[in-house]
Amino acid sequence: MLRERIIAVVALLLLAMLALGSYWLAQRARLGQPERVAAPAKHEPDYFAEQFLLHRLNTQGQIDYRLQAAHMVHYPDDNTSELSPKVFIERSATPRQAALQVVTDRAILDHDAELILSTDPVRATQGQSIMTGIGMRMDTAARTLQLDKDVRTTWVHP
């Protein structure tokens, strides 16, 4: 009977040592591994469209602006779209402003910031007024257009 108790105690001690050893190894393995960091998103397109046409509506359900391009490619990592060739933007008229039409060869649409950017030549017309330049930043939320350089303007009072 004493012999059986000794065997049982030794077996329990071996089992306890095995469990502690396994726990120790698991902890060492976890501490020894560097934390996994998600791989940076690649700038690869997830969809594209041909003969792209976008109508943005205001809160009353009326068209605020229209964006048109022959080709559009969307990139999910930064939620932008490349538009080309011959990008046409038309911002609807308001009671205080005539409609604005903008034409450029290529543009980037930043969906999150509500910006349309271009580094190409730009031609903007509003009523009888004409503005040309190189590069633009159009904030569709603030309804502003900024041309970057070589800007020429012919302004006609409405």
CB 71 within 8 A of CB 48: yes
Q: Residue 71: exposed, middle, or buried by beta-carbon count in 10 A (0-12, 13-18, 19+)? A: middle
Let me know whether 21 and 64 are in one domain: no
Structural domain contains residue 9: yes
Q: Is 25 a residue whose pLDDT tops 90?
A: no
**Over residues 112-135, mean pLDDT:** 95
pLDDT tens figures, 100-116: 999 999 999 999 999 99
**Is residue 42 in some structural domain?**
no
One domain, residues 7 and 65: no
82 and 120, same domain (yes or no): yes
Measure Cα distances from 117 to 25, 43, 113, 129 in Å: 55, 18, 11, 21
Q: What is the extent of the structural domain holding 22?
A: 1-37
Nearest to 138 by CA among 120, 115, 106, 119: 115
Asked if residue 76 is part of any domain, the answer here is yes
Statement to judge: residues 31 and 66 lie in one domain: no
Same domain, 18 and 65: no
* Phi, psi at 71, each rounded to 5°: -145, 135
Give the confidence band of 94 by pLDDT, cuts at 50, 70, 90: confident
Q: Find the DSSP H helices in the chain.
A: 2-32
Residues 31 and 54 in one domain: no
Report which of residues 64 and 5 the model is more confident about.
Answer: 64
pLDDT of residue 38: 67
Same domain? For 123 and 55 the reply is yes
Look-up: residue for tokens 């040592």?
17
Average pLDDT across the chain, whole number: 88
Q: How far apart are alpha carbons 100 and 116 in whole angstroms?
A: 14
Q: Answer yes or no: do 99 and 130 share one domain.
A: yes
- DSSP assignment letter at 45: -
Assigned domain for 6 exists: yes
pLDDT tens for 32-88 read 666 666 666 788 888 899 999 999 988 888 898 999 999 999 999 889 999 999 999
Cα separation values, 83 from 54, 57, 97, Å:
12, 20, 26
Average pLDDT over residues 17-41: 73
Q: What is the pLDDT of residue 42?
A: 83
pLDDT at 4: 79
pLDDT on residue 59: 86
Same domain, 32 and 53: no
- Confidence grade of residue 155 (pLDDT, cut at 50, 70, 90): confident
Strands (E), the chain: 47-57, 63-75, 80-84, 87-91, 100-104, 107-110, 115-126, 129-139, 144-154
* Statement to judge: residues 76 and 2 lie in one domain: no
Specify if 150 maps to a domain. yes
pLDDT at 37: 66
Q: How many domains does the chain have?
A: 2
What is the C-alpha separation between 121 and 115, in angstroms, rounded?
Answer: 17
Any idea what the CATH number is for the domain that residue 87 is in?
Answer: 2.60.450.10
